[in-house]
Amino acid sequence: MKTEIQKEAQDGVTGHSQLTMQVVDHVRQLVANGELKPGDRLPPERELARKLKISRSSLRAGIGFLSAMGVLKSRHGAGTFVATGPPALDSSSLTVLGALHGFLPWQMFEARLVIESSVAGLAAERATGEHIAELAEEVAEMYASMDDPQEYLIHDVRFHRTIARASGNPILGALMETITASLYDTRRMTVDNSVDLKESAEFHREIFRAIRSRNPVAAKKAMEEHLNLARMAQAAEPKATPEPN
Amino acid sequence: MKTEIQKEAQDGVTGHSQLTMQVVDHVRQLVANGELKPGDRLPPERELARKLKISRSSLRAGIGFLSAMGVLKSRHGAGTFVATGPPALDSSSLTVLGALHGFLPWQMFEARLVIESSVAGLAAERATGEHIAELAEEVAEMYASMDDPQEYLIHDVRFHRTIARASGNPILGALMETITASLYDTRRMTVDNSVDLKESAEFHREIFRAIRSRNPVAAKKAMEEHLNLARMAQAAEPKATPEPN
DNA sequence: GTCGGGCTAAGGTCAGACCATAGCAAAGCG
DNA sequence: CGCTTTGCTATGGTCTGACCTTAGCCCGAC
């Protein structure tokens, strides 16, 4: 006889059907065995369904699940592909959750700040020489492309992703990706103009120096200042909020 | 002409079909309008599909998406329900992502430590009197149920969730829930025995006192120590896999 | 050589049937 | 009367097969 208080805990059931999980498991195996790498295309649905001895609809349920968490991406007419880039949940995940539970922009920023500053601190402790070289390169590229916001943005993103990799914790990296993706989703990029790229580059350089000198506290603090500045710059940008409800 | 480097960024497409998103939007509206609250049951699939003028399969795709991120839970034969409790992604999300990208247990713990200690710090700054009273209650209950691990565990979870609420940042709370759920998924509960509940209660009391006295640094540090202890206790537990069914 | 049409493959949607489970209600038994 | 058992019904889960829509390619016409 089960205890009665477990309603808050769980019934032991994940909530997803067996077949869906069978698909998930199969894909997981394919990836684990190296038969499927990021960017690769899955077999066609009809074929894969036949191989797994399940109907196409059930297969699609599994594919939908994996798409929802950003592992797969389907392109109509072309095929279904394994997601590239760093691991992350689907960009709409947090957006939808936010819409349902009323997440506020400042909370998103705070979450990003918490995670990314910790990640910077870890990176300062664990970055390899290779990581540091990469960071140096990206900083240099930033300085070199201060007149091209689009190009600058690319190196900005790469800089942050490299730090995530250097932190040695892919989970925190995934969470970071998810949050930033959701932020991009809500407010379109922050580099359009209005931001002083030179100042931004200086901040990145400071973060880089802290990581290179293995100073976690300084790295964390520098990242916090950088993101706080970015937050304020964006908050001061009035032209992008059509609905101030 | 699009730049060529954007393959890493995104194609502007979320990757999910229109109809799926229509369902998501509809449910979002229902929740936003208060017509649907956590714990409520959705209309039957057949009926809802008719109302939305889409086929049942398409509706199910949307429901599957929302289930994947923990917003809905379907129970065979009973119905589909809005998830209760704090917002969180589906427990299997991180588990699957982890299986695909090779997340390690210590990385999970580290992520939890980073987030939850920050959350504790925020809670120390923002907790209301009500929150503090709730925390006091849970701590008391912990001391009162040190001979009943099951009961103890309930108050343990509630304690951490209350801190998350007190932090005023539901996003960090959601991430925390997701990670802890994933940890529970991998290794079954840590309170079975082997853990000194009295010692554990002392740690919780220390965290509580730091929050009550509005000391973010102490709260953060206390939480870090608590989780580090829990991690070591679990790592030293060799008898894992009790039921190899 | 270039442009356009059409063919093929692949994902997206639809319709209807049937299966499996949960929950209740009525019937049957003590 | 109260408990058990049986069976109905509502609801999610799965299957089948058809058709639509899009992407990409090939090939013929100009």
- Could you state, in order of their start, the residue ranges of all structural domains in chain A? 4-82, 104-235
A229-235 CB contacts, 8 Å cutoff, 24+ apart: A229/A199, A229/A200, A229/A203, A230/A190, A230/A195, A230/A200, A231/A106, A231/A109, A231/A113, A233/A190, A233/A194, A233/A195, A234/A187, A234/A190
Return the half-sphere exposure (C-beta side, CA atoms, 13 A cut-off) of residue A12.
Answer: 3
CATH level 3 topology of B104-235: Four Helix Bundle (Hemerythrin (Met), subunit A) (1.20.120)
pLDDT band at A242 (very low <50, low <70, confident <90, very high): very low
Phi-psi sector, B222: left (phi>0), alpha (psi -120 to 50), beta: alpha
Structure confidence at residue B194 (pLDDT): 61
Q: Is the model's pTM score more than 0.75?
A: yes
Query: Residue A96 pLDDT more than 80?
Result: yes
- Look up tokens 């599994």; give the residue: A62
Q: Judge whether residue B4 has pLDDT over 70.
A: no
Q: Of A91, A114, A174, which is closest to B172 when you measure between CB atoms? A: A114
Residues of B 73-102 whose CB lies less than 7 Å from any atom of strand C: 75-78
Q: Find where tokens 């995670």 sit.
A: A115
| A22, A23, A100, A122: best to mutate for the B interface, most B CBs within 10 A | A100
Mean pLDDT along residues B18-25:
94
Nearest CB partner across the interface for A115, out of B20, B89, B114:
B114
Residues of B in contact with A66 (CB under 8 A): 96
pLDDT confidence of residue A222: 97
Statement: residue A71 has pLDDT above 80? yes
What's the whole-number mean pLDDT along residues B155-178?
95
Nucleotide nearest to A55 (CA to C1'): D15
Confidence check: pLDDT of B243 > 50: no
Nearest alpha-carbon partner for B97 in B84, B111, B86? B111
pLDDT of residue B87: 85
Closest residue to A15, CB basis, from B74, B111, B175: B74
Q: Could you write out the three-class secondary structure of chain A? A: CCCCHHHCCCCCCCCCCHHHHHHHHHHHHHHHCCCCCCCCECCCHHHHHHHHCCCHHHHHHHHHHHHHCCCEEEECCCEEEECCCCCCCCHHHHHHHHHHHCCCHHHHHHHHHHHHHHHHHHHHHHCCHHHHHHHHHHHHHHHHCCCCHHHHHHHHHHHHHHHHHHCCCHHHHHHHHHHHHHHHHHCCCCCCCCCCHHHHHHHHHHHHHHHHCCCHHHHHHHHHHHHHHHHHHHHCCHHHCCCCC
**Class of the domain covering B4-82:** mainly alpha
Would the CB atoms of A97 and B89 count as touching at under 8 Å?
Answer: yes
Size of interface A-B (CB pairs under 8 A): 167
From the CA of A48, how many Å to the C1' of D17? 17
What mean pLDDT, rounded, does chain A reach?
86
Gap between the Cα atoms of B234 and B240, Å rounded = 9
A93–B69 CB contact, under 8 Å: yes
Q: Could you report the per-residue pLDDT of A147-183, keeping only the tens digit for each? A: 888 889 889 999 999 999 999 999 999 999 999 988 8
- Give the nucleotide with minimal C1' distance to the Cα of A79: C10
A44 has a chain B CB within 8 A of its CB: no
Residues B84 and A163: their CA atoms lie apart, in Å, by: 36
Percent of chain A with pLDDT over 70: 85
Q: Which residues in A lie closer than 8 A to residue B123 (C-beta atoms)?
A: none
Residue B190 has what pLDDT?
55
Nearest to A118 by CA among B94, B163, B110: B110
B4-82 and B104-235 agree in CATH topology: no
The overall average pLDDT reported for chain B is 86
Exposure string (b/e) for B212-231, b if CB count within 10 Å is 16 or more?
A: beebbebbbbbbbebbeebb
For B:126-145, CB contacts with A below 8 A are none
